[in-house]
Each structure stands twice: as C-alpha cells, then as structure tokens.
Amino acid sequence: MSQILDGTVVRDRIFENLKPRIARLTRPPGLAVVLCGNDPASEQYVKNKILACQKLGMVSKKVSPPPTSTTEEMVKVIEDLNNDPEIDGILVQMPLPKHIDTRKVLEYISPDKDADGFHPTNVGHLVAGRPAPRACTPSGIIEILRYYKVPMEGRRAVVVGRSDIVGKPMALMLLEQNATVTVCHSRTVDLADECHRADILVSAMGKPALITGEFIAPGATVIDVGTTRIGDRMEAVKLGKGEEFDKKGAVFVGDVHPVDVKHCAAAHTPVPGGVGPLTIAMLMANTVMLAEQSQGIGAAVRGSA
C-alpha cells in the first residue's frame, strides 16, 4: 500500500517554526484578506485563513467590498491596504466577480505585501532564484516532499497543469531542486505515457480522478492538488467513496483516482488533508517573512525554515 503524505503534520511543524520568528517581531504580522462576492467556498477559505492567523497570534483583517464594486473601487481598497503600516501581507480571495479586472487588481498589490506570491515582480524573483514571496501551493508541495525525504535532485518530475498559480511556479521550484521537469497540459499528446515516466507526479488540472493507474509508474510519488466536490452517490461508489458519501452526503476527490493511487504509487497526498493544509501554512510563512522584511528583522526566508 502507498504511504500517505499527511499535509496536516507538515503544516503543524511549519506553524511551530513560525512561532519563535513571530515572537521576535516588534508587532504581530498583519494579513489583510479581501473577499468580494458571495461564493460559499471562498467564504470558507477566508475563514480558515483567519483561524490560522489567530492560532499563530497574527493580526487578520477581513475586507469585504460589495459584489457590485468596480475595478477602480477594488484598486482603491488595495491602495489603502498598501499604505496601511499595520498590514504586512495582502491576499485577494479568488475568484472575483466577472466584471472586475482581476489582473489589474492583483498587480496593484505592492510586491512587498504580496502574500500570495502572484505579483509579476515576485514571479521574476522566483525565476531568478532570489528570495521573495512564493506561490503558496507549490511552495507547500516542496515542503511536504522535503519533510517526507522524497528525493528531488536528478529525479524526473511531471507537472500536469500550466496555471500561473500552481503549474508554472511548481515547475520552476522543482527545477530549483535540480529535478528534470516536464510540464503537461490539456493539449499534451499521450498524457498517460508522459505521466508514467515520472518519479514525482504533480497533478493540478481540477479534473476529478483524471490520473488513473495507467498514468502512475510503480514507486512514484504522487501529489494531488485538485479538489472537486462529488454530489452523486453512484460516482462516489465508482471512486471507492460510497461509505463516506453515505455518512456525509458528498465527498471530495482530487485529480488522482483515490483507489488506483493506493496500489500504484509509493507515496501520495490524500484529498482532503494533503496539499490543502500546506497552502495556508505557506501563506502564513509568506506573511511572517514580509513582516520581518518590513521591520528589518532576520534574513529573507523562502519556505518555512
């Protein structure tokens, strides 16, 4: 059976490492979360981020512009937060309402307060190998691979998905670890064959159970970034989650087939409980790093350190 790579264990270790760094600061780190809209999933994500701040003794500020806000009004919200000396990190919860220019809003965040690591300036720092806030999900994946001592140097890594949020920065971070990286996507020919060559397979496509046994080489480590809610019992039964469905009325499934991965991979992240907790942990780590930079305390840190 495949080893389960438990993200909650790694998250807790990152939190413990952050606590003494927070204690050295002249004031607690401040994270502002901007939530515009009424998406229930987004509201839950924001709640989880605020709870993480409270757990670490950090200051959280929730800003909720009305869903009818214009792009210009959202930019004004960001401008005010950029100028707030008590705020070290700014996060805009996605997705924004469709009428808002998301790129313009995100790029207005000061690179020095970019808690998500999405600003083009910080992406450029990632490409150049310089310390800066990094995209939270891929940096969390590097942390879980390190924690479980999964070798990356010299290994073949395949990333399925080319988004700016996960796929592209994930490829860059694996390259930094001296892996040999292939990026696959919806237009890739013979996707299963490409994936089957991987020692480390990271899937971030958002397509439930796309990665079946034929995609996974024996002994591979599989990292599942996807999360899809399944509300149909028959579908849940096909994925080996019938009993869980009967208890909860719905189940969550990642990009990787939850039964096949147990029989093919040497190790894998579960859904939920794998990558998800690390995303929030790295958001906290980015915010602490930005607070240290703002206060001139300690060296710039990448990851949890």
The catalytic residue positions are 49, 93, 116
User: Distance between CA 241 and CA 250 in Å, rounded?
Assistant: 9
On the 0-12 / 13-18 / 19+ scale of CB atoms within 10 A, 197 is middle
User: Could you count the other beta carbons within 10 Å of the beta carbon of residue 217?
Assistant: 17
User: Distance between CA 17 and CA 39 in Å, rounded?
Assistant: 33
Would you list the DSSP string of 135-183?
-HHHHHHHHHHHHTT---TT-EEEEE---TTTHHHHHHHHHHTT-EEEE
Are 127 and 68 spatial neighbours (Cβ–Cβ below 8 Å)?
no
User: Could you count the other beta carbons within 10 Å of the beta carbon of residue 296?
Assistant: 7
